[in-house]
Amino acid sequence: MEKKGILLVVSGFSGAGKGTLMKELLRRHDNYALSVSATTRAPREGEEEGREYFFKTREEFEQMIAKGQLIEYASYVGNYYGTPRAYVEEQLFKGRDVVLEIEIQGARKVKERFPDTVLLFVSPPSAKELRRRLTERGTESREVIENRLKRAVEEAQGIEDYDYFVINDDLNACVEHVHQIVQCERSRTGRSREQIQSIREELKTFSK
């Protein structure tokens, strides 16, 4: 009666610290598997096939779409990005918890296909802090920062579609909180159907 793993979708404002959060979650705890996206965009320096992305030609990607091999996909600045289905299903079946970083449209699609998915939105403690983090990187132009803030306004519209709204103030605390959310989700009645049914059957044999 081994339980299936939990599919955890992480979204959040650019600058919320999703990347570090997920990296730490996987480094500290054994049971997670990171879903790697497929994309048609060219690899950047230092990126490795199967680590950052599975790099595909447009033709290959469109074949994956046609064959239903992607849980969700989207087109962004002329390139495709998508989540390969096989890896996610394999890992969940093995009982591993799969972490997936995508934005809101993708998150909604995943939840439609896998209603048990846990959707988590990560936010800095305040919008001011978000701006500070974006500015402090120092690598982005003023224009890029302003675009990210504008995008954040749009993203903020959809937060209610998520199950959890997690504040990333202290990284350490946030990683453990997210890990706990996954542990607590395991005890949801909807995920314990077999266990409940088994106790129910056993009880009946006693009261005969």
Binding of its own copies by 146 (CB under 8 A): yes
Q: Which stretch binds its own copies (CB under 8 A): 42-50, 59-67, 90-98, 146-154?
A: 146-154
Binding of its own copies by 152 (CB under 8 A): yes
In the numeric block, the tokens 């048990």 are attached to 116
**Residues of this chain, 167-186, that bind its own copies according to CB under 8 A:** 167, 177, 180-181, 183-185
Binding of its own copies by 160 (CB under 8 A): yes
Say which residues have a Cβ less than 8 Å from residue 152's Cβ, sequence separation at least 6. Answer: 13, 14, 15, 127, 130
Q: Which one among 57, 139, 141, 157 touches its own copies, defined by CB under 8 A?
A: 157
Reduced to 3 states (helix: H, G, I; strand: E, B; else coil), residue 106 is helix
**Minimum separation from the CB atom of position 127 to its own copies (A):** 4
Structure tokens that stand for 104 in this block: 């809101």
**Minimum separation from the CB atom of position 146 to its own copies (A):** 7
Q: Which one among 14, 23, 165, 168 touches its own copies, defined by CB under 8 A?
A: 165
Instruction: Say if residues 54 and 38 touch (Cβ distance below 8 Å).
Output: yes
In the numeric block, the tokens 């030609």 are attached to 57
Helix (H) or strand (E) holding 118: strand 118-123
Structure tokens that stand for 52 in this block: 């950052």
Cα separation, 9 vs 185, in Å, equals 13
Name the residues that contact its own copies, by CB under 8 A.
121, 123, 126-128, 130-131, 146, 149-150, 152-153, 156-157, 159-167, 177, 180-181, 183-185, 187-189, 192-193, 195-196, 199-200, 202-207
